[in-house]
């Protein structure tokens, strides 16, 4: 981001450990890419400094020269510099942003780093990352081959294609998930755009909300992931599945193209290094998604395409919300200030399994298999390195007398409750009316045909197709 453009933005400063910094001079020097600064101005980015860097104390020495005498309350953007629909009504970052404790000598992360930052462990982690990328490339080739060659020659029954493509899309979203956390240069994060393959993610905009929103403010009201995926609760129960599905179809078909164009064809990632590569990566994935749709319609497999679209979309939709307790009306997390970051992350994340093999589940869960390790070490480059690092994390949990709860099976432990909550909870307008009128819960049919539900449904569908408010 250019200095001039940042200086014209309100809340141009960054908050770290209760101090305010003007980082404009540093942005262009940042080894991980300047794009990390493009949207988080006016936020508390303490977690990024501590959790994404191996030696935060060294970084603090660099930061001292950029400290400015500005009050935290004046520097912080009350809306976190995000679209209003992303956060709950009445949100104020000065009141609702969590504050963690960071003891660089005896804290959870410092103890964990002593175990994993050895030459031998780092070499094994690098090998695990390379293997993860190799598997990701193989899955991508398999997906493309089966979509255009396998479907053309009908090598599998239609129902097998539906399941296969849901599996490959989820697996490719796992690759995109971890690449979102990598250095932004178009090379290290070559698979970033694969986040789009499951029709839920949209790397163009969601990488920032995920990496710099969800991971910084996990399970608090500032957690953008928590709010975004409860948006469907504004829709009447009877129409929730078809309307939400149509919204996502519109986002796939035209919405993300319009969003990309409105953000600028220079990627939307202002200040991204490797811009030509990044442009090619996004365009390749978005064009591939459209080509698949056109190809299946032209070859008589339109029904198969819509079936795999529906399965991929809803499987991943529920996966995304499965690894935290977002379905609770109020988070159970203790958000009192000063808690140890690592301890909080372990307590408030779930590990997911599908078949029980950690390496297979890493892909089948869209990267949520070793989710607790991922939240404690968000800078790690792959799900395989998280699996490799888990014994060190568990050992650190023992040091801090922190229980390591059993992995949850997505199908049996999480899916039934998630389906019940997201698909059967009355629409918010119905709950508000019932509470106001004291007439008891509004019936399913009354809610479905109430005038208050028509406007949010129409707006929700339109936001998918026109990219406005569409994620």
Q: What is the pLDDT of residues 321-377, one digit of tens each?
A: 888 887 665 456 677 888 999 999 999 898 999 999 999 999 999 999 999 999 999
How many whole angstroms separate alpha carbon 338 and alpha carbon 249?
43
Whether 465 is in a domain gets the answer: no
| Cα three-residue angle 190-318-46, rounded to 5 degrees | 55
Task: Calculate the average pLDDT of the chain.
Answer: 87
Whether 414 is in a domain gets the answer: no
- Copy the structure tokens of residue 370: 């070793």
186 and 76 in a single domain? The answer is no
Looking at residues 389-403, what average pLDDT do you find? 96
67 and 134 in a single domain? The answer is no
CB atoms within 10 A of CB 104: 13
β pairing state of 14-16 and 19-21: antiparallel
Q: What is the pLDDT of residue 223?
A: 84
Which residues, other chains included, contact 206 with Cβ-Cβ below 8 Å and sequence gap of 6+?
A: 180, 195, 471
pLDDT at 251 over 60: yes
- Copy the structure tokens of residue 227: 């709010």
Q: What is the pLDDT of residue 82?
A: 80
| Sign of the C-alpha dihedral computed for residues 13, 14, 20 and 22 taken in this order | negative
Helices marked H in 351-470 — which ranges?
358-364, 371-376, 383-399, 415-424, 428-437, 444-448, 451-466
Looking at residues 64-81, what average pLDDT do you find? 89
Q: How would residue 246 be classed by pLDDT, with cut points 50, 70 and 90?
A: very high
The boundaries of the domain holding residue 333 are 116-391
Q: What is the pLDDT of residue 363?
A: 97
Looking at residues 209-218, what average pLDDT do you find? 86
189 and 312 in a single domain? The answer is yes
- Domain endpoint, select from 360, 391, 422: 391
Query: The domain spanning residue 55 has which CATH number?
Result: 3.10.120.10
Task: Name residue 352's beta-bridge partners.
Answer: 408
pLDDT at 388 over 90: yes
pLDDT at 101 over 70: yes
123 and 60 in a single domain? The answer is no
pLDDT at 136 over 60: yes
286 and 385 in a single domain? The answer is yes
Number of domains in the chain: 2
- Domain endpoint, select from 336, 366, 391: 391
- Crossing angle of helices 302-320 and 237-250, in 10° steps, is 110
pLDDT at 135 over 80: yes
Q: How would residue 469 be classed by pLDDT, with cut points 50, 70 and 90?
A: low
Q: How would residue 3 be classed by pLDDT, with cut points 50, 70 and 90?
A: very low
387 and 246 in a single domain? The answer is yes
Whether 459 is in a domain gets the answer: no
Q: How would residue 254 be classed by pLDDT, with cut points 50, 70 and 90?
A: very high
pLDDT at 293 over 90: yes
Report how far apart the first and last C-alpha atoms of the chain are (Å, whole number): 23
Looking at residues 287-295, what average pLDDT do you find? 97
pLDDT at 105 over 50: yes
Q: How would residue 228 be classed by pLDDT, with cut points 50, 70 and 90?
A: low
Whether 318 is in a domain gets the answer: yes
Task: Choose between 106 and 120: higher pLDDT.
Answer: 120
Looking at residues 73-93, what average pLDDT do you find? 82
Q: What is the pLDDT of residue 8?
A: 46
Task: Choose between 205 and 471: higher pLDDT.
Answer: 205
| Sign of the C-alpha dihedral computed for residues 295, 299, 304 and 306 taken in this order | positive
pLDDT at 271 over 60: no
121 and 70 in a single domain? The answer is no
Whether 21 is in a domain gets the answer: yes
Whether 40 is in a domain gets the answer: yes
270 and 348 in a single domain? The answer is yes
Whether 468 is in a domain gets the answer: no
43 and 123 in a single domain? The answer is no
38 and 157 in a single domain? The answer is no
pLDDT cut 90: percent of the chain above it: 53
pLDDT at 35 over 90: no
Among 21-30, 255-264, 266-275, 316-325, which is the least confidently predicted range? 266-275
Q: What is the pLDDT of residue 330?
A: 47
323 and 233 in a single domain? The answer is yes
CB atoms within 10 A of CB 36: 22
pLDDT digits (tens, 9 = 90+) for 404-458: 999 999 999 999 999 999 999 899 888 877 666 655 677 888 899 988 889 889 9
| Cα three-residue angle 259-307-174, rounded to 5 degrees | 60
Q: What is the pLDDT of residue 165?
A: 98
Q: What is the pLDDT of residue 104?
A: 77
DSSP state for residue 406 in the 8-state scheme: P
- Domain endpoint, select from 371, 391, 411: 391
β pairing state of 100-101 and 19-21: unpaired
77 and 187 in a single domain? The answer is no
pLDDT cut 70: percent of the chain above it: 91
Report the half-sphere exposure of 43 (CA within 13 A, side-chain side): 26
pLDDT at 6 over 50: no
Whether 32 is in a domain gets the answer: yes
- Copy the structure tokens of residue 309: 């679209």
Burial class of residue 123 (count of CB atoms within 10 Å of its CB; 0-12, 13-18, 19+): exposed
Alpha-carbon Rg for the chain, nearest whole angstrom, is 22
């Amino acid at each position: 981001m250019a200095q001039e453009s940042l200086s014209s933005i309100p809340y141009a400063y960054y908050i770290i450990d209760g101090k305010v910094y003007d980082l404009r001079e540093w942005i262009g020097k940042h080894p991980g890419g300047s794009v990390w600064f493009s949207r988080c101005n006016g936020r508390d980015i303490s977690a990024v400094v501590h959790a994404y860097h191996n030696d935060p104390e060294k970084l603090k020495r660099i930061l001292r020269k950029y400290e400015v005498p500005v009050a935290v309350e004046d520097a912080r953007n009350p809306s976190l510099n995000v679209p209003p629909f992303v956060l709950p009504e009445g949100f104020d970052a000065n009141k609702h942003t969590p504050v963690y404790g960071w003891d660089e000598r005896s804290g959870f992360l410092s103890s964990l780093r002593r175990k994993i930052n050895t030459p031998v462990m780092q070499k094994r982690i690098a090998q695990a990352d390379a293997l993860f990328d190799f598997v990701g490339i193989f899955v991508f080739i398999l997906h493309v081959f089966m979509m255009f060659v396998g479907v053309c020659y009908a090598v599998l029954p239609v129902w097998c294609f539906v399941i296969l493509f849901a599996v490959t899309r989820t697996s490719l979203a796992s690759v995109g998930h971890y690449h979102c956390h990598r250095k932004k240069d178009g090379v290290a994060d070559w698979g970033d755009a694969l986040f789009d393959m499951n029709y839920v993610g949209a790397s163009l905009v969601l990488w920032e909300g995920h990496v710099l929103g969800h991971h910084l403010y996990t399970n608090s009201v500032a957690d953008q992931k928590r709010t975004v995926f409860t948006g469907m609760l504004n829709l009447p129960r009877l129409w929730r599945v078809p309307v939400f599905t149509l919204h996502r179809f519109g986002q796939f078909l035209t919405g993300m193209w319009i969003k990309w164009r409105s953000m600028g064809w220079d990627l939307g990632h202002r200040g991204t290094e490797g811009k030509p590569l990044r442009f090619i990566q996004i365009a390749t994935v978005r064009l591939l998604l459209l080509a698949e749709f056109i190809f299946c319609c032209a070859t008589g497999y339109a029904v198969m395409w819509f079936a795999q679209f529906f399965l991929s979309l809803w499987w991943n939709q529920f996966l995304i919300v499965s690894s935290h307790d977002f379905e609770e009306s109020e988070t159970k997390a203790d958000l009192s200030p000063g808690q140890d970051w690592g301890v909080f992350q372990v307590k408030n994340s779930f590990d997911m399994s599908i078949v029980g093999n950690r390496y297979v589940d890493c892909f089948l869960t869209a990267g949520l298999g070793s989710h607790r390790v991922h939240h404690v070490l968000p800078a790690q480059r792959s799900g395989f390195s998280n699996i490799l690092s888990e014994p060190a994390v568990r050992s650190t949990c023992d040091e801090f007398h922190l229980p390591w709860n059993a992995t949850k099976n997505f199908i049996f432990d999480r899916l039934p409750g998630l389906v019940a909550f997201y698909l059967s909870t009355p629409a918010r307008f119905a709950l508000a009316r019932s509470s106001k009128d004291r007439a008891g819960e509004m019936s399913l049919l009354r809610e479905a045909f109430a005038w208050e539900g028509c406007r949010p449904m129409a707006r929700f569908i339109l936001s998918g197709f026109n990219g406005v408010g569409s994620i």
